[in-house]
């Protein structure tokens, strides 16, 4: 039975809103993704494993460490990490050109319809797998 399970792409979600991480996890897992959710940026950083995740979805507004800062810390460990930023608020100005490039090409605004979320995630993950 274990061998018959479909191995999904691994996604890390970091958002301080429990309802958001729970909803995203349920939706994405129903489409075959393996989701690891965290409601604390420091815990996510502590539990992060290099080259394990296919994508990290990071909320921009997090207590203590914002999503851009978390991305910069994760990238020190894993230079190949794909990231998508998430926010319910307005866009923030970013000075770091590396973060700006990713930020403008990969941004999800909450709320997002489930089907659109899955479509966006599939597009992002499949870029290097097609």
Cα–Cα dist 115/106, whole Å: 17
Closest C-alpha to 27, from 52, 67, 57, 62: 57
Instruction: Assess whether pLDDT exceeds 50 at residue 46.
Output: yes
Write the pLDDT tens digit of every residue in 100-109: 555 456 788 8
Cα–Cα dist 84/123, whole Å: 11
Average confidence (pLDDT) over 78-90: 83
Cα–Cα dist 14/6, whole Å: 24
Per-domain residue ranges of the chain: 7-126
Q: Confidence band (pLDDT; 50, 70, 90) for 40? A: very high
CATH number corresponding to 7-126: 3.40.50.2300
Write the pLDDT tens digit of every residue in 10-22: 999 999 999 999 9
Q: Which two structure tokens, joined as six digits, stand for 57?
A: 């979805």
Question: Which residue has better confidence, 74 or 101?
Answer: 74
């Amino acid at each position: 039975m274990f061998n018959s399970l479909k191995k999904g792409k691994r996604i890390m979600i970091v958002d301080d809103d429990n309802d958001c991480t729970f909803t995203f996890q349920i939706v994405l897992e129903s489409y075959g993704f393996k989701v690891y959710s965290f409601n604390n940026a420091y815990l996510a950083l502590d539990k992060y494993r290099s080259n394990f995740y296919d994508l990290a979805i990071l909320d921009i507004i997090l207590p203590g460490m914002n999503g851009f800062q978390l991305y910069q810390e994760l990238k020190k460990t894993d230079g190949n990490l794909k990231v998508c930023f998430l926010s319910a608020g307005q866009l923030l100005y970013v000075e770091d050109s590396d973060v700006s490039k990713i930020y403008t090409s990969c941004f999800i605004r909450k709320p997002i319809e489930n089907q659109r979320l899955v479509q966006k995630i599939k597009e992002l993950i499949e870029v290097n797998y097609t």
